[in-house]
A and B are shown apart, each in its own frame.
Chain A
């Protein structure tokens, strides 16, 4: 069965650079969530999209932006990278067809900021 695809899987950037992370949800899933997981920490919700519109916003820094495209894939754009942005970034997708439907997580993108 198709799963959530994230690219790249690993990314190394330097301070003040920009990065773009991509997420391809499971087919027919219309909702995408982004999470940030620092070393030894639980995932923190950043932002979510439903039908290409932002549906909820969490602890996403102003330096980050995201969008969902017409094919439902999503991109997380990160600018002016800081050392503290080094983390595992997860994308999850969900089909908003019934109450409480599960989020399926991608494998994550490990971002290292040097």
Chain B
């Protein structure tokens, strides 16, 4: 299995531009988590999907952020418009089912730099 796949691995953009981050879940997994990691705030959960349905989006910082799961194996995180304070590493993780017994498998992350 290829594991969780994220693209792009690095993204450099200018303030005000739209950014789309992509994530492919591990086959057979039905839970998807988007995280943001910064030095100042550590690892933060942005949104959690289960069976393609957003269950908890309380961590999404503001309306500029949106996430979708158009199908069971793929998700996007969009930032529009982007701002310098959005610079961070964004991870997605998937698991086989909801609940604590289920390991979250992380992708390699997308390092976003907004100039």
A and B held together in a complex = no
